[in-house]
Amino acid sequence: MNIIAIHKEYDTQKKCIQHLEKLRWNGVVRCTYCGSDHTKPAKGEQFRHSCRSCKRTFSVLLDTIFEHTRLPLPEWFVIIALVLNAKRGMAAKEIQRHTGVTYKTAYYTAMRIRIGMLEDNTQLDGIIEMDESYFGGKARKKNTATNDPTLSTVSAKRGRGTKKVSVAGMVERDGDVKTKVIEKLTKRNLLHMLKTYAKEDNSLLITDGFKSYSHFDEYIEHMVINHSKAFSKGIVHVNTIEGFWSYVKNGIKGNYKSISPKYLPFYLVEYEWKFNHRKFKGDEFKLFLDNALKHENELEYWKAISPEQVKKIAYS
């Protein structure tokens, strides 16, 4: 998307509001509280509507990622375009340098944009690869478990058995990807993820030899690649999901340096969105706004109350 064109087309608050109203209501204004279409423009309140049924006033921003924002929507739209164009991610400091907003505004705006990237209807089928990865930074000498809260210094050990944050991922060949932060990579937890996001019929699951994937063939057709012998054998490999892990980790290392485990699920959502729409040929800006208008104020003051709540919200 062309940032200059977006800035010209949506250079006023009124134009931005009209665009959001068209996307959300398509000409028929409905009350956000009761769903009634018996509405009228609110007297003395610009860009707000009054409901004749429940007698309350509302705007198109209510129950969206834009709710209670003090940042003008034209600036919002420019930041959205910047984030969507940055295929490997954009740190809040970089947004601050590009737009002139404060760091705090840049950070919370970017976090709301990630919430707007949440997609609830992901269903994978065909050939599906499943693998797990661990996020926590490069091993350093004398760097055993520390109290440092960032992902750059969680644990020195690599791979299974590490104290880093464990993430499971599933990807459809030439299709979408879905990730989930899972504290314990047990058979039960991984199978629950598989049942949630994969279609059983006409699907083939490919994994490595991790013991938690054993007996998955009781639910879905399942093939295993033995990495001690080979990394691929015809169509049997997990190179696609491993490529996605590389894409995410290089993006975090290059743009965010280190991030808190508490907010990792939302950064994963951002990389999911960008991977899933890598071949999209339409207007990604409009596609994002359409999706973002479906998400309510899902975090208290746009901060995660606890890591458990983050996982529940992002991957319920």
133/112 same-domain check: no
- For position 307, what pLDDT does the model report? 45
Q: What is the CATH classification number for the domain harbouring 143?
A: 3.30.420
d(CA 154, CA 230): 31
**How many domains, in total, are found in the chain?**
2
What is the bridge-based pairing of β-strands 127-135 and 57-58? unpaired
- For position 311, what pLDDT does the model report? 46
Among residues 116, 151, 178, which one ends one of the domains? 116
Structural domain includes residue 178? yes
8/85 same-domain check: yes
d(CA 189, CA 198): 14
Structural domain includes residue 289? no
d(CA 303, CA 95): 19
Structural domain includes residue 316? no
DSSP reduced 3-state for 221: strand
Burial 142-170 (b: 16+ CB within 10 A, else e): ebeeeeeeebbbbbbbeeeebebbbbbbb
7/112 same-domain check: yes
53/106 same-domain check: yes
140/109 same-domain check: no
86/173 same-domain check: no
181/253 same-domain check: yes
136/40 same-domain check: no
185/249 same-domain check: yes
48/166 same-domain check: no
Structural domain includes residue 9? yes
d(CA 217, CA 198): 13
- For position 232, what pLDDT does the model report? 80
- For position 45, what pLDDT does the model report? 87
With tokens 């208008």, the residue in question is 293
Structural domain includes residue 266? no
Structural domain includes residue 231? yes
Average pLDDT for runs of 10 along the chain of length 316: 89 95 92 92 91 93 90 96 94 96 95 90 91 80 55 57 85 94 91 92 90 89 85 88 95 88 91 94 93 67 48 45
Among residues 72, 89, 116, which one ends one of the domains? 116
Structural domain includes residue 282? no
Q: How many CB atoms lie within 10 A of CB 303?
A: 11
Report residue 140 as tokens: 């350093």
Domain enclosing residue 8, as ranges: 3-116
Structural domain includes residue 233? yes
